[in-house]
Amino acid sequence: MMKSLGGGSGRRTVLITGVSKGLGKALALELAKRGHSIIGCSRSQDKLDSLRSLLSSSDAADSPHLLFSVDVRSNSSVEELARVVMEKKGVPDIIVNNAGTINKNNRMWKVPADEFDAVIDTNVKGIAKMLRHFLPPMIERKRGIIVNLSSGWGRSTAALVAPYCASKWAVEGLTKSVAEELPDGMAVVALNPGVINTDLLASCFGDSASYYQAPDAWAVKAATMILNLTVADNGASLTV
């Protein structure tokens, strides 16, 4: 089997956006439990504080995790995140661009302009900003993995969630294009997490979201998959 690219078989440094809830939180806790070092960001300071206490209780004192209040929609905010991360932890081995939002179920022409913008600014432009500020040092090191969270709705469509579908189709195209620009030794993939019981799913599925897999069960499989990505996966559209 080809060696994974996230920094060997030892401890990895994994940066996760949208880390304070849902899939991001579950993945952070699972990776920390396996001995990896987490760098996380989110807009919610309260939720970050809660996650910080969970991470500190689940890991040894010699493996500190860093959590930051960051809005991926803000270029200056992401730029500052990159500066501080490089200063304190160096170049991450793996970046998981997980931060995302969805529009309230509605026909496209009834979706308010600011709501459409929020979906695109977070799901697409947020990833672009992370790439803009984190790819240069990763490319200089010629090693690293970037995982862009996509969706089944990045490969299919549904009524009432057109803005979200548009954003995730964009993630797929962006990922495949960037994959062609990376040097040997790196990989970027689009990862469909599957249908998981999160706040985002509840927004469009309502109470029936509870019938689907919980984030912590998902994270066990997702963590293994992400840690075992190789250069051969560059540009791939994968599903957990």
Which tens digits make up the pLDDT trace of 195-205?
A: 887 888 788 88
Q: Higher-confidence residue: 33 or 210?
A: 33
Rounded average pLDDT over 44-59: 87
Please tell me which residue in 153, 164, 169, 218 is annotated as part of the active site: 164
pLDDT band (50, 70, 90) for residue 102: very high
Show me where the domains of the chain are located: 13-239
Q: Is position 164 annotated as part of the catalytic site?
A: yes
Does residue 218 surpass a pLDDT of 80? yes
Q: Give the per-residue SS3 of the chain.
A: CCCCCCCCCCCCEEEEECCCCHHHHHHHHHHHHCCCEEEEEECCHHHHHHHHHHHHHHCCCCCCCEEEECCCCCHHHHHHHHHHHHHHCCCCCEEEECCCCCCCCCCHHHCCHHHHHHHHHHHCHHHHHHHHHHHHHHHHHCCEEEEEECCHHHCCCCCCCHHHHHHHHHHHHHHHHHHCCCCCCEEEEEEECCCECCHHHHHHHHHHHHHCECHHHHHHHHHHHHHCCCHHHCCCEEEC
Does residue 151 surpass a pLDDT of 80? yes
Q: Higher-confidence residue: 148 or 2?
A: 148
Does residue 60 surpass a pLDDT of 70? no
Dist CA 36 CA 162 (whole Å): 37
pLDDT band (50, 70, 90) for residue 51: very high
Does residue 115 surpass a pLDDT of 80? yes
Q: What is the CATH number that goes with domain 13-239?
A: 3.40.50.720
